[in-house]
Amino acid sequence: MSKKVIVTGGTGFIGSHTVVELIAAGYTPVILDNLSNSEIEVLEGIKKITGVTVEFGQIDIKDQAALTTFFHEHKDAIGVIHFAALKAVGESVNKPLLYYKNNIGGLINIISCMKEVGINNHIFSSSCTVYGQPDQLPVTENSPLKPAESPYGNTKQIGEEILREDIASRTDEGKVIALRYFNPIGAHASAEIGELPLGVPENLIPYVTQTAIGLRDELKVFGDDYNTKDGTAVRDYIHVVDLAQAHVVALDRLVNHKNKEKFEVFNLGTGQGNSVLEVIHAFEKSTGVKLNYKVVDRRAGDVEATYADTSFAKNELGWSTKLSLEEMLASAWKWQKKLDSKKSV
């Protein structure tokens, strides 16, 4: 049986870590990525860790013709893990059509190519953002979805809907697992791959590590008047390596016909909620570096608190996280120290 897997967005943050775990599990990933938010050097990092030179195509998922050619070249693949997407919430508010074209148009192109060459197993990157502010915590897969706060969030909801409806209409062997990520952070223990934010980061951890290393003067904590343990917002931070391994388990499930529905959804988190201040203090403790931070107003569109109910993933996938918040932060710090500091300015 073929062990080839097409990984879109495979040079990105979660994609590159998943490629490493796929190789460790005996799969042969091939990457397609347009390098809009990643760098070709990531392939060297993957090679240093795994010893494998991964086949790569610089292709934009909006380019249906190039995509079709790539899929025909790799029609022996047994599955697609589809990461390629834009993910900056703020940017999506200013450029909604760009987000719909890329994340929705691109998804439709991927599905069409898979059907054309007969690849049936699809793992889709979704997000806990589909739940908005959940009414009950921890949030289960059956929690109601809330109207999206941003075009980015909407693309994840619509993406899931498109996949669900397409799968329901099909008579072939097509099947999908949508994975709703909570907040992925950290880096590979080797520090050969990690998160590469272009420009000023929007997400908390790259901002923390860039402040700690002196690239940013001060970390802004967005709001301390939430109804949480210390007033700052609560999230479920998950180590990117744990998250990557969940993709391998999900793919195994589809390949081995262990899925119970043609379209399944899993939350991927640790089940633990941590506030922004807890993250800051855990970072200081695990690295010994003091952070310069200041509390400012809330950030528009942020929810107060969200964390995952992990029991469905645990029971059905047999997967759960292994790495602690301290390990997540220590690995992110090791990666930041290794990055050429000029790159991020």
Active-site residues, by number, are: 152
In the bound state with ligand UD1, the residue whose beta carbon lies nearer, of 121 and 157, is 157
For 113, counting Cβ atoms within 10 Å of its Cβ (0-12 exposed, 13-18 middle, 19+ buried), the class is buried
Supply the minimum distance, in Å, between the C-beta of residue 129 and ligand UD1.
3
Point out which span in 56-64, 164-172, 189-197, 201-209 binds ligand UD1 (CB under 6 A). Answer: 201-209
CB 315: neighbour CB atoms within 10 A? Answer: 10
Q: How many residues bind ligand UD1 (CB under 6 A)?
A: 21
- Which of 128, 139, 249, 291 forms a contact with ligand UD1 (CB under 6 A)? 128
Residue 238 is a binding residue for ligand UD1 (CB under 6 A): no
Helix (H, G, I), strand (E, B) or coil at 264: strand
* Interacting residue with ligand UD1 among 220, 262, 281, 314 (CB under 6 A): 220
- Per-residue burial over 95-105, b if 16 or more Cβ lie within 10 Å, else e, is eeeebbebbbe
DSSP labels for 52-71? Answer: ---EEEE--TT-HHHHHHHH
- When asked if residue 98 is in the footprint of ligand UD1 (CB under 6 A), the reply is no
Q: Among residue numbers 181 through 200, which ones bind ligand UD1 (CB under 6 A)?
A: 183
For residues 215-249, one letter each, b for 16 or more C-beta atoms within 10 angstroms of the residue's C-beta and e for the rest, the string is: bbeebebbbbebebeeebbbbbbbbbbbbbbbbbb
Residue number of the CB closest to ligand UD1 reads 233
- If the CB atoms of residues 121 and 127 are measured against ligand UD1, the closer one turns out to be 127
Q: Are 133 and 141 in contact (CB under 8 A)?
A: no
Q: How far is the CB of 205 from ligand UD1 (least distance, A)?
A: 6
Site of tokens 């992110």: 332
Fill in the per-residue mask, 287 to 306: x = in contact with ligand UD1 (CB under 6 A), - = not in contact.
------------x--xx--x
Report phi then psi at 255, rounded to 5. -60, -40
- 136/125 Cα distance (integer angstroms): 23
Binder of ligand UD1 out of 222, 224, 259, 320 (CB under 6 A) = 222
CA distances from 53 to 13, 189, 304, 316 (A): 18, 20, 43, 33
C-beta neighbour count of 136 within 10 angstroms: 9
Rounded distance between C-alpha atoms, residue 38 and residue 54, angstroms? 16
**Measured from the CB atom, is 63 or 202 closer to ligand UD1?**
202
Half-sphere exposure of 147 (CA within 13 A, CB side): 0
Of positions 74, 175, 188, 235, contacts ligand UD1 by CB under 6 A: 235
Binding part of the chain for ligand UD1, among 13-21, 98-106, 217-225, 320-328 by CB under 6 A, reads 217-225
Using the rule CB under 6 A, give the single segment among 99-107, 122-130, 161-169, 187-195 that binds ligand UD1: 122-130
Site residues for ligand UD1, 10-69, by CB under 6 A, read: none
Q: How far is the CB of 194 from ligand UD1 (least distance, A)?
A: 15
Q: How far is the CB of 62 from ligand UD1 (least distance, A)?
A: 20
Which tokens in the block code for residue 320? 């759960």
Stretch that binds ligand UD1, among 59-67, 121-129, 242-250, 336-344 (CB under 6 A): 121-129
Q: Check binding of 115 to ligand UD1 (CB under 6 A).
A: no
Distance between CA atoms of residues 21 and 250, nearest Å: 12
Nearer to ligand UD1, 40 or 300 (CB): 300
- Using CB under 6 A, which of 129, 157, 209, 272 touches ligand UD1? 129
Determine the Cα–Cα distance for residues 187 and 242; give it in Å rounded to an integer. 10
The C-alpha atoms of residue 171 and residue 33 are separated, in whole angstroms, by: 30
Q: Which of 202, 224, 316, 327 binds ligand UD1 (CB under 6 A)?
A: 202
The binding site for ligand UD1 (CB under 6 A) comprises 87, 89, 127-129, 183, 202-204, 207, 219-222, 233, 235, 276, 299, 302-303, 306
